[in-house]
Amino acid sequence: MKILSANAIRKVDAYTIEHEPVSDYGLMQRAAGALTEWLLERIPSGTHVVVLAGSGNNGGDALVAARLLMLSGFSVSTYCCHHQVTVSPTCIIAKDALLAIPDADCKEVAGRDFFPRIESTDWVIDGLFGSGLNRPLQGLAVDCVQLVNRSGATVVAIDVPSGLPTDGDFVVDPELCIHATYTLTFQLPKLSFLFAEHELLTGEWSVLDIGLNRNAIENAETSFHMITHDDAAALLHQRAKFAHKGHFGHALMIGGSRGKIGAVVLASRACLHSGVGLLSVHLPQGGELVLHTAVPEAMVEADQNEKYVTHVEISGKHNAVGIGCGLGTHPQTAKALEDILTRAICPMVIDADALNLIATHPELKSLLSANTIVTPHPVEFDRLAGKSSSGAERLENARQWAVDHQCVVVLKGAYTAVINALGEVWFNSTGNPGMATAGSGDVLTGILLALLAQDYDPFDAARLGVYLHGLAGDLASNATSQEFLTAGVLIDFLGSAFKKMQKE
């Protein structure tokens, strides 16, 4: 699923009006119709609805919705906040249609004195600004937004919360933006919804299909996509009837240090449960018995050092190498990492402490082979690439990092971004806050290592891997709860996640 910029959506909108039997007002009616249908399923009967309409088409959508809600029997008070001299022609048509209803309550907000009174039991429909917003809010619009935010009412934002830039192209002061309870966006998700700092502004968001032209969406250019179930399922390899374990690769997992052997245990278990043929684990000698006991399917290559990794024999027998889980950052481990990066010729996934070591030894970056997968969480990424002041800035830095180092960057979070060496971004659509628990990143490393060993292209492995990881988390939290979820439980649900991906 594509994520388009406000500008690209405007073009799709115009193409739809030009090539389909629908006018701009017709499209607005469709948008407001979808919105009203959603509202009618949820607003308690008898609720007083306050509709706020701006001067653009977002305001037009709000005015059509006001009319439809009135016709459905709701008590609706509408306020037009004309922040501009020119009002969109479609917005004027929508207003005239509203005023044609007997008892239509539609007031002009000429100043603060004209503001509505909003009760906490009201529902507010926010149609002040949509995808046309191109600068931070000022003046009366700010007062209006603050009135809504302090009211305690349920707020439904049309398309985007007013004040939030659709493409995240400027940093928003939360005081200058509607804090929506729900955001109902049209046709496609918007980039700015995917940044953590905007959760307070969008609330729970969903996409309403308003039938924009499919070809126009197909042909629209963008670097941003969302991984859907079908996208991920299409990447999954089929297993041949006569396949044997030699077909599914021999992976080498390197990790662990004293006190952090569990990380490599989790990653190894996840790797074996993601279809790898053979797994060897290199860890400090002190962890050998633990690994043999916890993961009897794995072969163990113990380091000569008791507490941390100091030297790894890299041979041609491994099809993929994973390194970093619980590794620690001892100077001798840094030396071992340098040696591995110099000698390994197979695909690699690099996580956690191996990334921290690269951050403190930046000369190691030049040793990364093309298409290596790196899996930083935001703090690890900032250590690698420098601090970012917003989600949008971090995403841009991660795209640049992927291009500069010709790597696949998996920037982890609620909407994990998988970025290839061309700077193309695919956001994950699975997963839940139950996964914010120790070791869930180690599970992802194990999955990715298994897919690399099975000869998946690294970008495909990363997209399929993050989707499966999040899906396992969703299945686990549905069957138990987000609180109950641990990394171990996540692994237990990997089987069901794979099953959901297979063709019936």
Ligand X SMILES: Nc1ncnc2c1ncn2[C@@H]1O[C@H](COP(=O)(O)OP(=O)(O)O)[C@@H](O)[C@H]1O
Binding-site residue set for AMP: 412-416, 441
Query: Which bin fits 386, alpha (ψ -120 to 50), beta or left (φ > 0)?
Result: left
When asked if residue 332 is in the footprint of ligand X (CB under 6 A), the reply is no
Query: Which bin fits 290, alpha (ψ -120 to 50), beta or left (φ > 0)?
Result: alpha
Binding mask 260-299 for K ion (x = CB under 5 A): ----------------------------------------
Query: Which bin fits 135, alpha (ψ -120 to 50), beta or left (φ > 0)?
Result: beta
When asked if residue 377 is in the footprint of ligand X (CB under 6 A), the reply is yes
Q: What values do phi and psi take at 15, rounded to 5?
A: -65, -40
Binding mask 106-145 for K ion (x = CB under 5 A): --------------------x---x---------------
> What are the CA-CA distances from residue 359 to residues 243, 384, 395 (Å)?
41, 5, 18
**Where does residue 11 rank: exposed (0-12), middle (13-18), buried (19+ CB within 10 A)?**
middle
One residue of 137, 302, 336, 464 binding ligand NPW per CB under 6 A: 137
Hey, which residues does 77 pair with through a beta bridge? 50
When asked if residue 187 is in the footprint of ligand NPW (CB under 6 A), the reply is yes
- DSSP 8-state code for residue 278: E
The radius of gyration computed from the CA coordinates of the chain, to the nearest angstrom, equals 26
Residue 137 contact among ligand X, K ion, ligand NPW, none, beta carbon within 5 to 8 Å by kind = ligand NPW
One residue of 23, 134, 315, 502 binding ligand NPW per CB under 6 A: 134
One residue of 439, 446, 458, 465 binding ligand X per CB under 6 A: 439
When asked if residue 440 is in the footprint of ligand X (CB under 6 A), the reply is yes
Residue 109 parent element (H or E):
none
One residue of 56, 168, 434, 446 binding ligand NPW per CB under 6 A: 56
When asked if residue 157 is in the footprint of K ion (CB under 5 A), the reply is yes
Which CB, 174 or 488, lies closer to ligand NPW? 174
Residue 347 parent element (H or E):
none
3 state DSSP class of 207: strand
Using the contact rule CB under 5 A, the part of the chain among 32-40, 141-149, 162-170, 273-281 near K ion is: 162-170
User: What span, in angstroms and rounded, lies between the C-alpha atoms of 163 and 142?
Assistant: 9
| 8 A C-beta contact, residue 336 and residue 257 | no
Cα angle 129, 228, 400 (rounded to 5 degrees) comes to 70
When asked if residue 428 is in the footprint of K ion (CB under 5 A), the reply is no
Which CB, 137 or 178, lies closer to ligand NPW? 137
Q: Hey, what are 145's tokens?
A: 């937004």
When asked if residue 413 is in the footprint of ligand X (CB under 6 A), the reply is yes
- DSSP 8-state code for residue 426: E
When asked if residue 463 is in the footprint of ligand X (CB under 6 A), the reply is no
Residue 89 contact among ligand NPW, K ion, ligand X, none, beta carbon within 5 to 8 Å by kind = none
When asked if residue 329 is in the footprint of ligand X (CB under 6 A), the reply is no
When asked if residue 319 is in the footprint of K ion (CB under 5 A), the reply is no
Q: How far is the CB of 377 from ligand NPW (least distance, A)?
A: 33
User: What span, in angstroms and rounded, lies between the C-alpha atoms of 38 and 200?
Assistant: 21
Residue 378 contact among ligand X, K ion, ligand NPW, none, beta carbon within 5 to 8 Å by kind = none
Beta strands in 363-475 (DSSP E): 373-374, 408-411, 417-419, 425-427
User: What span, in angstroms and rounded, lies between the C-alpha atoms of 36 and 437?
Assistant: 38
When asked if residue 412 is in the footprint of ligand X (CB under 6 A), the reply is yes
Residue 444 contact among K ion, ligand NPW, ligand X, none, beta carbon within 5 to 8 Å by kind = ligand X
User: What span, in angstroms and rounded, lies between the C-alpha atoms of 21 and 167?
Assistant: 29
**Which has the closest alpha carbon to 234: 436, 68, 490, 457?**
457
User: What span, in angstroms and rounded, lies between the C-alpha atoms of 79 and 59?
Assistant: 10
When asked if residue 198 is in the footprint of ligand X (CB under 6 A), the reply is no
| Number of other CB atoms surrounding residue 123 within 10 Å | 23
Q: How far is the CB of 445 from ligand NPW (least distance, A)?
A: 39
One residue of 27, 53, 253, 491 binding ligand NPW per CB under 6 A: 27
| 8 A C-beta contact, residue 43 and residue 74 | yes
- Length of the chain in terms of residues written: 504
Q: How far is the CB of 55 from ligand NPW (least distance, A)?
A: 6
Q: Hey, what are 263's tokens?
A: 């990380």
Residue 157 contact among ligand X, ligand NPW, K ion, none, beta carbon within 5 to 8 Å by kind = K ion
One residue of 3, 63, 83, 250 binding ligand NPW per CB under 6 A: 83
**Nearest residue (beta carbon) to ligand X:** 441
Which CB, 33 or 378, lies closer to ligand NPW? 33
Which CB, 126 or 303, lies closer to K ion? 126
Residue 433 contact among K ion, ligand X, ligand NPW, none, beta carbon within 5 to 8 Å by kind = ligand X
User: What span, in angstroms and rounded, lies between the C-alpha atoms of 61 and 177?
Assistant: 19
| 8 A C-beta contact, residue 200 and residue 175 | no
Using the contact rule CB under 6 A, the part of the chain among 127-135, 273-281, 331-339, 485-493 near ligand NPW is: 127-135
Residue 126 contact among K ion, ligand X, ligand NPW, none, beta carbon within 5 to 8 Å by kind = K ion
**Which has the closest alpha carbon to 456: 298, 247, 268?**
247
Which CB, 300 or 448, lies closer to ligand X? 448
Q: In the complex, which residues of this chain contact K ion (CB under 5 A)?
A: 126, 130, 157-158, 162
Binding site for ligand NPW (CB under 6 A): 9-10, 13, 27-28, 31, 54-61, 83-84, 88, 129-135, 137, 141, 158-159, 186-187, 210, 212
